[in-house]
């Protein structure tokens, strides 16, 4: 018994501070005068603000860009002293928006006197991303049904037009001015056909030919395809490859298309001048929150450029089919990338700010 007591007394003490610091949710205490008196580590990460800068500061100043939060804190203070829960964007001092849910409760002593408010902040970024993924998958499925029906109807008359144009071309071979028009007709029909094929690709589930792949070889092959564009312009390519990367399981053709689309987008964005960086890294025990999926090992490939970046208002749409800001783009490139990566069981994310370039991050499961 005594030994046990001895053992107990040598066990490390667990303080409230330890508990609050270890929580994944942000905990902030605002005192009766509206000043911050506690700020845990998760709150620092979520608000992008060190505790040293937050403590003793009036919350009305720190949270001035998130008015809804200040209203909730006010309601939790006398005379109302009510507990409320809300969702909205927390706007950091740098202007980043972080979707959060917040519960604000009045903080009282044992006599019910107000000591201030306690705020519990939960980061909703992952949840929102997953909701977005689901919506996107729904939109693609809907588009698929529509596309399959339309494509069938359009492909037959297009075949007729092309055949007729080719006959006309043969008949008028000796009249260059007319031959010029028929050539345009044939070329444009081919373009529409290609578009329909891409649309059909997007809608029907692809049969993946999965093999063990060295992602660095695949990236180098894609760079080779784009060699001419790179050499003709002042573009520097940096390859930050992790040599210890294990092989992945993937479809060579489909993944080549993904990285070709991403690299082409980056080169187009930089418009002939800039730096394209390809980075590979491994992440062990990465958890995809999907039914039936546990912890798996993933590799990540980042395709980064230092071009003009993507406007905040464009970001939610760039993976949608036909969303393009280019005069001659189809807007199908990223929608196709999204579908292929999803079918490989991976993820595709983008980080970008106007004027700061874009970074597309692709994760792929490691081969068993
Ligand atoms: N690296 C990037 N930098 C800036 N904007 C980008 C970048 N990559 C994609 N975008 C934006 O996303 C949009 C959609 O890209 P997506 O590849 O799907 O279509 P697109 O490039 O416009 O057309 P397509 O790929 O058919 O030629 C682009 O029009 C552009 O606005
Ligand atoms: Mg593109």
Q: What is the pLDDT of residue 150?
A: 78
Task: In the chain, list all ranges with CATH 3.30.565.10.
Answer: 210-365
Task: In the chain, list all ranges with CATH 1.10.287.
Answer: 128-203
Q: Identify the nearest ligand to the CA of 327 by its number.
A: 1
Atom 5 (ligand 1) nearest CA: 310
Q: What is the pLDDT of residue 205?
A: 67
CATH topology of domain 210-365: Heat Shock Protein 90 (3.30.565)
305 ligand 1 Cβ < 6 A = yes
Atom 28 (ligand 1) nearest CA: 324
Query: Does the structure show a pLDDT above 80 at 265?
Result: yes
Among 331, 349, 357, 360, residue to substitute to test ligand 1 (most atoms within 8 Å of Cβ): 331
Answer whether the bond into residue 120 is a cis peptide, omega within 30°. Answer: no
Site of tokens 């939960």: 122
Q: Which residues of 330-340 are buried (b: 16+ CB within 10 A; e: fewer)?
A: bbbbbbbbbbb
Q: What is the pLDDT of residue 231?
A: 85
> What's the rounded Cα separation, in Å, for the pair 169 and 163?
10
Identify the CA nearest to 337 among candidates 327, 350, 326: 350
What residues have a C-beta under 5 A from ligand 2, the ion? 265, 333
Architecture per CATH, 2-123 = 2-Layer Sandwich (3.30)
Q: What is the pLDDT of residue 289?
A: 46
Task: In the chain, list all ranges with CATH 3.30.450.20.
Answer: 2-123
Domain over 128-203 is classified CATH 1.10.287: yes
Q: Rounded mean pLDDT of the chain? A: 87
Q: pLDDT for 318-330, tens place per residue? A: 988 888 999 888 8
355 ligand 1 Cβ < 6 A = no
Q: Identify the nearest ligand to the CA of 325 by its number.
A: 1
Ligand 1, atom nearest to 323 Cα = 14
Among 262, 334, 359, residue to substitute to test ligand 1 (most atoms within 8 Å of Cβ): 334
Q: What is the pLDDT of residue 20?
A: 85
Q: Identify the nearest ligand to the CA of 264 by its number.
A: 2
Q: What is the pLDDT of residue 2?
A: 39
Atom 29 (ligand 1) nearest CA: 324
Q: What is the pLDDT of residue 104?
A: 95
104 ligand 1 Cβ < 6 A = no
Question: How far, in Å, from the CA of 273 to the mean position of ligand 1?
Answer: 17
Question: How far, in Å, from the CA of 310 to the mean position of ligand 1?
Answer: 9
Q: pLDDT for 15-36, tens place per residue? A: 888 888 888 899 999 999 999 9
Q: What is the pLDDT of residue 3?
A: 40
261 ligand 1 Cβ < 6 A = yes
pLDDT category at 234 given cuts 50, 70, 90 is confident
348 ligand 1 Cβ < 6 A = no
Query: Does the structure show a pLDDT above 50 at 137?
Result: yes
Determine contact, residues 26/120, Cβ cutoff 8 Å: yes
pLDDT category at 211 given cuts 50, 70, 90 is very high
Identify the CA nearest to 246 among candidates 280, 272, 278: 280
> What's the rounded Cα separation, in Å, for the pair 158 and 170?
18
pLDDT category at 285 given cuts 50, 70, 90 is low
Better pLDDT: 336 or 277: 277
> What's the rounded Cα separation, in Å, for the pair 28 and 104?
9
Among 267, 318, 356, residue to substitute to test ligand 1 (most atoms within 8 Å of Cβ): 318
């Amino acid at each position: 018994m005594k030994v046990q007591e001895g053992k107990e007394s040598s066990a490390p003490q667990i303080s409230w501070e330890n508990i609050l610091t270890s929580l994944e949710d942000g905990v902030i205490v605002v005192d009766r005068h509206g000043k911050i008196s506690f700020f845990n580590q998760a709150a620092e990460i979520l608000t992008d603000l060190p505790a040293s800068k937050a403590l003793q500061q009036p919350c009305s100043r720190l949270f001035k860009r998130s008015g809804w939060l200040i209203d909730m804190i006010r309601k939790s203070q006398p005379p109302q002293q009510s507990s409320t829960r809300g969702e909205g964007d927390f706007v950091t001092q740098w202007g980043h928006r972080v979707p959060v849910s917040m519960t604000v409760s009045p903080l009282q002593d044992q006599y019910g006197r107000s000591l201030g408010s306690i705020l519990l902040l939960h980061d909703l970024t992952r949840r929102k991303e997953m909701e977005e993924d689901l919506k996107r998958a729904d939109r693609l499925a809907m588009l698929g049904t529509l596309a399959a029906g339309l494509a069938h109807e359009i492909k037959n008359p297009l075949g007729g037009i092309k055949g007729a144009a080719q006959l006309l071309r043969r008949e008028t071979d000796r009249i260059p001015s007319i031959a010029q028009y028929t050539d345009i007709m044939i070329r444009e029909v081919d373009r529409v056909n290609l578009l329909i094929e891409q649309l059909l690709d997007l809608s029907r589930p692809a049969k993946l030919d999965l093999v063990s792949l060295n992602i660095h070889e695949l990236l180098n092959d894609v760079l080779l395809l784009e060699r001419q564009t790179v050499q003709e312009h002042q573009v520097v390519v940096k390859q930050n490859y992790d040599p210890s990367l294990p092989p992945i399981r993937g479809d060579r053709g489909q993944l080549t298309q993904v990285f070709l689309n991403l690299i082409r987008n980056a080169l187009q964005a930089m418009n002939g001048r800039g730096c394209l960086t390809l980075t590979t890294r491994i992440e062990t025990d990465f958890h995809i929150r999907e039914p039936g999926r546990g912890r798996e090992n993933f590799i990540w490939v980042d395709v980064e450029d230092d071009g003009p970046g993507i406007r905040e208002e464009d970001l939610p749409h760039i993976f949608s089919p036909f969303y393009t800001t280019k005069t001659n783009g189809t807007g199908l490139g990223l929608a196709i990338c999204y579908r292929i990566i999803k079918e490989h069981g991976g993820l595709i994310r983008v980080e970008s700010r106007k004027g700061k370039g874009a970074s597309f991050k692709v994760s792929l499961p490691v081969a068993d």
